[in-house]
Structure 1
Amino acid sequence: MTPDYQLIEIQTLASGDTLQIPVYTFQGKTGNKKAYIQANLHGAEIVGNAVIYELITFLNSLNSDEVQGEIVLIPMCNPTGVNQRNLFFSTGRYSPYDGNNWNRIFWDYSHENVNIDDFVRKNINLSKQEIQANFLKDILNKFQEKLDKINPYRGVSFSEDYRNILQSLSLNANYVIDIHSSSVSSIDYLYCFDYRQKSADYFLLDYGILMNKYDGNAFDEAFLNPWLVLEKKLSQARRNITFDVEAWTLELGSGMKVNEESVKKGFKGIINYLSAKKMLNLELITPEQKTKLIPKNTIKSYYAPQGGIIRHRLKEGTKIQRGDVLYNILSFLKTSITPTIIEIESADEGIIYDVSTNDTVNQGEYILGIFPHG
């Protein structure tokens, strides 16, 4: 099947050029669900573009009756970030206009002055499908109100305009998948929200981080949080419902690199997830083991106790016990005639899930993170 292809303008430049994002939409013959998948929101995190290429190629080989509903794919979703460079290094994590993290700018309906308790009272006796449709209608109406209030002469900041474009494409989706890569060297894992743990296994990844506290207006959080708030309030009213709405961030590989093994894992996991959600008429792969979900507040981070040169650091994916030497610091402190080496032992047992890529560190800089056992 052939996708609908369009280019959406996101910014005109002083040079007269225009930045655009490509949107590939695959529409099945039947089905009314929608999956939205984007990549490269942070400029250096490029693996997702290769994953989306593989998805486009695969979906092109299917017939329209093998797809149920609508699948929207956006590679290179942030050309401003993608094109940012310092010497040989990609940056693109923060907006050059206001310094905001590109993944902390998104609009959350539940943060508006809305009365979700009143919505529950009015809809408590309706079917699950009717409640979901009515709540989505309220979200879209409030979002449109915000767009309508934009004065064309005053305009809005680029960050706000950009986020409005991405959310106008995604707010009505059932499933949102935001593909990232670690800023450092990392294993492949995902971010999972509470009450959505059962679906995590479909991505066929060994590890995931269970979100138990939200950092702010990240893309996946802003999309799903209103639905989680509604579910909680319905539960308090003795109506237990989990809506057919999910959001995921996949962390595949490392920044500035395309790890082909991460591409394969991402592609295979997304296809399997869409099959599990009945959007692809394909045989479901049963995972060999469940995804081990690590509560975010239990992750252990290690920082340099003093400055120096890192040597003999263990790699990501290494299983460790308490007392294992994680790395050495070669230090040239001016207070000592002889350079010294400090061995840093693990205070935890588990698996190293990411490590920094710079072997020169100042005191207090991040070295590595551990998913603990337990």
Structure 2
Amino acid sequence: MTTTAIHKDYIVVAQNASGRNMHVPIYRLRGDKPGPTVYIQSSIHGAEVQGNVVIYQLLQQLKHLQICGEIILVPNCNPVGTNIKAGEYTLGRFDPVNGTNWNRGYYYNEAAVHDFAESIAADESVESIRERFKAYWAQAITDKLASPWGLGLAQQLNLKLQQLAVSADYVLDLHNGPVSTRHIYVPEYARESATLFNFPHCIFIPNVFAGALDEATFCPWWTLQDLLTSRFDKAYDLGVEAFTLEMGSQEVIQFAEGNVDARSILSYLNAKGALDNTDFQPASMERVGVYLRDYKTLFTQWGGMVEYLARPGQRISQGEPLARVLNIDQLDNDRGSFVVDAPCDLIPILHFPSASVLSGTQLYKVFTNYFSLTDDEKS
């Protein structure tokens, strides 16, 4: 049986108020054959823990497979967020000192991409462009991290993780929703790769940077491709992809479901040449897509206690009930409860985790104007 060695290191991602270092483990698996570099991390948000089980299940299988290139796995990449507890709940979505979302501090500078594009000659090979740009972008991240004015904790953490991911050809950031079904964020240029994962719901996102790791990875490469294609009037494919994988609900781990998602990732890695002599293939399943502009949030205009009637992943027609609300101030009359109906045909993807809801809450996030990717595969 093939046994691939696992090399484990640690990086310091933060220091607590006592001056003690907080470490994150890094697992590296290197193959004997050349191939791509893959970077996978989990739990940048403290309550989103399922990705750690997925990485565990990946390791159990990868060590018995033939790897091409290198696979870098970073579980529980935000130990600060994991340990921010309030009673029974993990509140690790925001840096408690600065209020910053832990997934919004990665580096991107479009002007720097334009500057680099000017250094490229028409006859320079794609491989040369790739290697030079990786080094250029890595130095830019290092320079940002060394700012003489310092950086907030979330951005320090993000940049240290981005230094690990900057050389990767494929980057996967593992997340969870509050109460959620599986879904994946896919850059529009990598649409064909959506069907290589076993995710039933796919959100196609434009080349716009909003701070997350997937955007920080694909925005510079996508932008550079477009600049070169326009400048030299020929197509460029620089071969870098990044995705955010949302694997169900937060605050829970499920080993069996982790194995399902691990095999999904292995199917993608096999298709991208990171595995040798394996038969992992994407499952035959119904896949539905939506453009980010049609991924809608239903906010509440009221407060109350909520029963969620529509399950994540369930197809709902316009006018069908999404939720039933209890109005504590009106229990003695016919306004004591009311139903929230779907404003259009939609698929709920996730909903707020609590029954206690304030006005202005993101009650549901839903697919509207969705379309079948299964039909695309058949055609």
Q: Same fold (TM over 0.5)?
A: yes
Instruction: Tell me how far 1:127 sits from its aligned partner.
Output: 2.3
| Bigger mean CA offset, 102-111 vs 77-86 | 102-111
Runs of 4+ aligned residues of structure 1 deviating over 6 Å after TM superposition are none
TM-score, normalised relative to structure 2? 0.89
| Percentage of identical aligned residues | 26
Matches within 5 A, 1:27-66: 27-62=30-65, 66=66
The letter of the residue matching 2:291 is: P
CA distance in 2, matches of 1:133, 1:344: 53
Deviation string 1:112-164 (CA, Å, 9 cap, x unpaired) is: 48514413xx33322222222222232123334445x545xx65443343223
SS in 2 for 1:81: helix
Match status 1:13 vs 2:7: no
Which of residues 187, 207, 211 in structure 1 aligns to 2:181?
A: 187
Matches within 5 A, 1:116-155: 116-119=116-119, 122-147=120-145, 149-151=146-148
Q: Partner of 1:264 in structure 2?
A: 259
CA distance in 2, matches of 1:54, 1:101: 28
CA distance in 2, matches of 1:113, 1:267: 34
Match status 1:248 vs 2:251: no
**Is the Cα–Cα contact under 8 Å of residues 116 and 133 in structure 2 kept in the other structure?**
no
Which of residues 356, 359, 362 in structure 1 aligns to 2:358?
A: 362
Instruction: Tell me how far 1:2 sits from its aligned partner.
Output: 2.1
CA distance in 2, matches of 1:95, 1:114: 32
SS in 2 for 1:93: coil
**Is the Cα–Cα contact under 8 Å of residues 105 and 163 in structure 1 kept in the other structure?**
yes
Q: Partner of 1:167 in structure 2?
A: 162
Match status 1:293 vs 2:299: no
TM-score, normalised relative to structure 1? 0.90
Which of residues 171, 175, 180 in structure 2 aligns to 1:176?
A: 171
Would the alpha carbon gap of residues 177 and 349 (structure 1) be closer, same or farther in structure 2, given more than 3 Å must change? same
Paired positions, count: 365
| Bigger mean CA offset, 327-336 vs 162-171 | 327-336
Which of residues 301, 307, 322 in structure 1 aligns to 2:318?
A: 322
Q: Partner of 1:3 in structure 2?
A: 6
**Is the Cα–Cα contact under 8 Å of residues 45 and 78 in structure 2 kept in the other structure?**
yes
**Is the Cα–Cα contact under 8 Å of residues 189 and 205 in structure 1 kept in the other structure?**
yes
**Is the Cα–Cα contact under 8 Å of residues 22 and 74 in structure 1 kept in the other structure?**
yes
Q: Partner of 1:95 in structure 2?
A: 95
CA distance in 2, matches of 1:262, 1:114: 43
Q: Partner of 2:377 in structure 1?
A: none
SS in 1 for 2:297: strand
CA distance in 1, matches of 2:135, 2:240: 14
CA distance in 2, matches of 1:127, 1:94: 42
The letter of the residue matching 1:48 is: G
Would the alpha carbon gap of residues 101 and 156 (structure 1) be closer, same or farther in structure 2, given more than 3 Å must change? closer
Would the alpha carbon gap of residues 140 and 47 (structure 1) be closer, same or farther in structure 2, given more than 3 Å must change? same
The letter of the residue matching 2:169 is: N
CA distance in 2, matches of 1:235, 1:197: 19
RMSD: 2.2
Deviation string 1:16-48 (CA, Å, 9 cap, x unpaired) is: 532100000001012142100000000000000
CA distance in 1, matches of 2:77, 2:18: 21
Would the alpha carbon gap of residues 59 and 340 (structure 1) be closer, same or farther in structure 2, given more than 3 Å must change? same
SS in 2 for 1:191: strand
Instruction: Tell me how far 1:213 sits from its aligned partner.
Output: 6.2
Gaps of 5+ in 2: 372-379
Would the alpha carbon gap of residues 350 and 259 (structure 1) be closer, same or farther in structure 2, given more than 3 Å must change? farther
Instruction: Tell me how far 1:338 sits from its aligned partner.
Output: 5.5
Instruction: Tell me how far 1:284 sits from its aligned partner.
Output: 3.8
CA distance in 1, matches of 2:97, 2:243: 27
Q: Partner of 1:311 in structure 2?
A: 307
